[in-house]
Amino acid sequence: MSRTIKIYIIFLVVVMALIIYVDANRPRPINWSPSFDIKSKIPFGLKIFQEEKDKYFKGDSVSEIRVTPYEFFDAHYDFDTLVNTYTIKGTFLAIDNYYEIDEPSTDEILYFVSHGNDAFLSMSAFSKKLQDSLKFETLNHYFKDRIVNTLANKKLDDKEYQMKMGVSGYHFSSFDTLKTTVLGYQKTNDSTYVNFIKIPHGNGHFYLHTQPFAFTNYYLLKDRNHQYAEKILSYVPKGTIFWYPNKTYNSAVSSSPMRFILSHEGLKWAWYVFLIGMIIFMIFNAKRKQRIIPIIKPLENTTVDFTKTIGNLYFQEGNHDTIMEKKIIYFLEKLRQDYLIDTQNLDEDFIKKVHQKTGKDSTLIEKAVLLIKRQRKTFKSTEAELIELNGVLEKILDVK
């Protein structure tokens, strides 16, 4: 290794170490993006909810859905005409910033609830499909700095819970008041709106909530807001909970090994500096240093030369009969191998089969049969007859 290369390597290592050190010691900015990922530790992730979910549903079993709701529930449906229902019972649970469940899964959830089950959905906004099916609408209203959440049942909880960071003004603007039960409100700018309702569907119920941020890391750790989340979840009926963490199992997260490096500012820039350094190194060391590779001549096909030599000897000696016989033998062998034609009898049936399988004109094949029979009858031939037979046989075999 030359002295110049060693200097380049030492320089790159020092620069990368310096970048990593500076990045590791600088204050980290808070990531306020709404991830709603059960593995995320940022304020608006669901890691704490994921770890504490068993406490929220005491005595209930919590089963995570790691495929689409359609795939999960359809696999547990008994299509027997005497049964025709689901083999599982419980409540479908989903918490997300917005409704991102596909339409086939939405239909499946509606069907699952109609068979005597329940669904709890906490989302800022819902799909048009769900709104039309359950006959409700939502709106987003402007608010200054905070939202105050309360429950409709004051016997259950009469406290007010303030939310500022990340929340939206979405609320239920219309619904069937004869069938729908209002369970919670949110107050903003001296106005009160409905943000938690219960809607019957078939033999089951939908529990819809428009403040999903109440279940994120930030609010479960801030003041006594965790009590609000607990009171909301207390409406979920007892039984099995089918928890669907959509952001974790339904998002296209890159599995690239570079994902970790590129997700950290210091490692990312260290990687870029390394790539730029390598490009500069290759540019300045692009001259050829490898010794010349000797040219190796390919092996000659002596079999072809040998065949040509033997053929020339026969031709020069005037031994046309032998050449013609070998041509005939080769022709018939080719027909047997390539077209599986019986060559024992060169009759009308033989001519018909060769015509069908090679697609050549019957007249040409008849001429070839005539020349073969004449040669094998007389065993005497001239140079002209050899040339004629060779031309006919090569036309049949498409020899170029």
pLDDT digits 0-9 by tens, 98-144: 999 999 999 999 999 999 999 999 999 999 999 999 999 999 988 77
- pLDDT value at 242 more than 90: yes
| CA–CA gap between residue 37 and residue 263 (Å, rounded) | 16
Helix (H, G, I), strand (E, B) or coil at 81: coil
Distance of CA 227 to the CA centre of its chain: 40
Q: What is the pLDDT of residue 329?
A: 86
- pLDDT value at 252 more than 50: no
- pLDDT value at 369 more than 70: yes
Q: What is the pLDDT of residue 316?
A: 66
- Per the CB < 8 A criterion, the answer to whether 385 and 324 are in contact is yes
Which residues does 32 contact at the CB level (< 8 Å), separation at least 6?
A: 42, 43, 44, 165, 166
Q: What is the pLDDT of residue 99?
A: 94
Q: Characterize the bridge pairing of strands 118-122 and 204-209.
A: parallel
Q: What is the pLDDT of residue 253?
A: 44
pLDDT tier at 248 (50, 70, 90 boundaries)? low
Q: What is the pLDDT of residue 232?
A: 96
Lowest mean pLDDT among 88-102, 116-130, 276-290: 276-290
Q: What is the pLDDT of residue 111?
A: 96
pLDDT tier at 290 (50, 70, 90 boundaries)? low
Average pLDDT over residues 1-27: 78
- Per the CB < 8 A criterion, the answer to whether 37 and 248 are in contact is yes
* Domains annotated on the chain, with CATH: 3-28+259-284 (no CATH), 47-249 (3.40.50), 302-397 (no CATH)
Q: What is the pLDDT of residue 251?
A: 47
Over pLDDT 90: what percentage of the chain? 44
Give the residue with greater pLDDT, 265 vs 98.
Answer: 98
Q: Taking all residues of the chain, what is their mean pLDDT, rounded to a whole number? A: 86
- Give which of 273, 198, 238 is closest to 59, Cα–Cα: 238
